Structure 1
Amino acid sequence: MTGTDILMITYERPEYVRLSLPRLLETCGPDDRVWLWHNGGHEETLAVTREYAEHPKVARFHHSPDNVGLRIPTNWLWAESDGSYLSKVDDDCLVSPGWIEKLRTAHEDVPEFGVICSWRFLEEDYRPELASKKTVEYAGGHQLLRNHWVQGSGYLAKRAVLEGVGPLTDGHSFTSWCLDAARAGWVNGWYFPFIPEDHMDDPRSPHTVYTNDEELRARLPLSAKTTGVNTLADWTAQMKRSAVVAQTASLDLRDYFGWRKTRRSVFRRIRRTLTGKAPW
């Protein structure tokens, strides 16, 4: 199989799923398949997802009555599928037309690419004075804003990465899995010029459900809950900080493993304690 198997996990976001799921299906080529997993019992979201369960591009649909998070569905796709490339698109993200073909062509032209990705931030978040230091050109004219980890949506990973690194374990996040891939020698990062992915949870997205602080507090995203975000201004600032992190994060793997990782974890806990916000 040479196609791409793409996971979408849906959960309590009917407004987003009505946009993100048909968009994803529209971008699939003849050999690409979507695997649907619904977490929890939110009836409206489940109903929207079920509408597409019999779509010709949907390989499998699974409903978990409990919210089991991301690791179990991701490992389900990785174990049950047989595509040469693996992906996940979040239910709050709108992919761009042609994103699969562009990333797959880059993979085919550059054997060392492991996990390469669309860009979920805004044009205004791009800082060329920062990003240019990590932007590298490869065979075929492909460019990558190199980073050892990318976000868990809109990416394309070679199956060979999974075969070498293995599935997500209890101690893995997608970030740490990407770091393990980088340590194994794979080159990761965001394709450049960027392939846009509209992250609808970003308050600056034209499709966001967050138009005031009250709506945000009523439906706080998980990452907002864990970092003390309470207002749209806070949430927007966090999105901007995340973009800076992507463009400045170290390419020295020693910063993510061994004693340096332990030291960074200590600083992270201190900063969270003092500010209630995530470090960057």
Structure 2
Amino acid sequence: MVATTDVLMITYNSAEHVRRSLPHLLDTCDEHTRVWLWHNGDDEETLAVVREHADDARVHRFHHSRENVRLTAPTNWLWTESEGTFVSKVDDDCLPEPGWVERLRDAHAANPDFGAVGCWRFRDEDFVPELASRKIQTFAGGYRLLRNHWVQGSGYLLPRAKVLRQGPLRQGQSFTHYCIALARAGAVNGWLYPFVREDNMDDPRSASTLFVDDAAFRRRMPLTAQALGITSVTDWARQEHESALAVQKASLDLREYGGWRAKRTLVRRRVERLVRGRGSW
């Protein structure tokens, strides 16, 4: 039986991104990959771009929610209604490299314990071998992962069988915490290494970024930047770099993500944000 993949793209108020990301995603689909489209809101320009491609043979389902329901409902729509071997999501501001589905799918085929295995969205300068080497492990078929108990919610491949066992996203549950729950159940998560790349157009260091200056950044500020109080391109680029370092430093000891250890880590992170002027109690 041929393994099949269902990939979700959620679009919202970003016609400039979708004009690039949606055709790109469709072009990376092989004959065993189907795209599910969910559009949030009534931004006419973005919706028009999505509708241009809704009848493409590679698009399996299209849903328009007039309300911006964010990520949980669309993700669970795919996870509960898909019949594919694997489920995935690609953000509307991301461009995974050609062949990404096939490479991740082949790694999964050789390693049934793999859970959420993702594309690497950071830049070359973000990879620090001295940090990452302790977490790069070799598995069946010679496949290597930069292991981490979570990956980003774009450009991943996840066996649907593991979703069926664990259930859909709970209200308020992030994809990060879902991945950690998968790891607690025995799944091996991480990034295939050598990396399968994903160009994140919200990274100001990307050649495809729309953040050409601080004014453009403030007009299209990502939710994470808003939460951290970041208002400049320079600070956002620094934050992207720090995020890459954080996942390379992150512990593989699952005890660090529950109980008193998790509370200790949360306090430390809050203090760090306060020192940098990016958060409050």
In the TM superposition, residue 218 of structure 1 has moved relative to its aligned partner by 1.6
CA contact (8 A) 1:4 1:33 kept: yes
Paired position in structure 1 for 2:22: 21
Q: Residue 227 of structure 2 corresponds to which residue in structure 1?
A: 226
Letter in 2 for 1:36: L
8 Å CA contact 2:138, 2:145 repeated in 1: yes
Q: What is the one-letter code of the residue matched to 2:200?
A: H
- TM-score (ref. length: structure 1): 0.96
Q: Secondary structure at the match of 2:228?
A: coil
Shift of 1:13: 1.2
1:194-273 superposed matches below 5 A: 194-273=195-274
Q: Residue 270 of structure 2 contacts residue 279 of structure 2 at CA under 8 Å; is this kept in 1? A: no
Would you say how many aligned residue pairs link Structure 1 and Structure 2? 279
Residues 81-135 of structure 1 show CA distances to partners (whole Å, capped at 9, x for unaligned) of 1101000000000011100000000000011111100000011111111111100
Any runs of at least 4 consecutive aligned residues in structure 1 with deviations exceeding 4 A, and if so which? none
Please give the alpha-carbon distance, in whole angstroms, between the structure 1 residues aligned to 2:271 and 2:86: 39
Residue 93 of structure 1 contacts residue 199 of structure 1 at CA under 8 Å; is this kept in 2?
yes
Letter of the aligned partner of 1:71 in structure 2? T
The separation in 2 between residues aligned to 1:240 and 1:270, in whole angstroms, is 19
Q: What is the rounded CA distance, in whole Å, between the counterparts of 1:260 and 1:233 in structure 2?
A: 33
Give structure 1 stretches of 5+ with no counterpart. none
Q: Is 262-271 or 63-72 further displaced after alignment?
A: 262-271
User: Quick check: 1:159 aligned with 2:173?
Assistant: no
SS of the aligned residue for 1:51 comes to helix
Point out the more displaced range, 261-270 or 140-149.
Answer: 261-270
Task: Sort the Cα spacing of 1:106 and 1:248 in 2 relative to 1 into closer, same or farther, 3 A.
Answer: same
Residue pair 2:121, 2:199 contacting (<8 A) in 1 also? yes
2:62 matches 1:61: yes
* Cα deviation 1:140-161 (Å, max 9, x = unaligned): 1100000000000000001121
Give the Cα–Cα distance (whole angstroms) in 2 for the partners of residues 261 and 31 of structure 1. 40
| AA aligned opposite 1:249 | A
Q: Answer yes or no: is 1:47 the counterpart of 2:48.
A: yes
CA shift, 1:263, in A, is: 2.2
1:169 match: secondary structure = coil
Q: Distance in 2 between the 1:239 and 1:275 partners? A: 15
CA contact (8 A) 2:117 2:156 kept: yes
For residues 185 and 278 of structure 1, do their structure 2 counterparts lie closer, same or farther at Cα, with a shift above 3 Å needed?
farther
What corresponds to 2:109 in structure 1?
108
CA contact (8 A) 1:268 1:278 kept: no
Say which SS state the counterpart of residue 115 (structure 1) adopts.
Answer: strand
TM-score (norm 2): 0.96
Cα deviations by residue, 1:176-210 (Å, 9 ceiling, x for unpaired): 00000000000000000001100001001111111
1:145 alignment partner in structure 2: 146
Shift of 1:41: 1.1
Whole-angstrom distance in 2 between the partners of 1:146 and 1:203 = 26
Post-superposition offset of 1:273: 4.3
Q: Which secondary structure does the structure 2 equivalent of 1:168 belong to?
A: coil
Partner of 2:98, secondary structure, is coil
Work out whether residues 116 and 190 of structure 2, in 8 Å CA contact, stay in contact via their aligned partners in 1: yes
- 3-state SS in 1 of match to 2:30: coil
Measure the CA separation in 2 of the matches of 1:2 and 1:195: 19
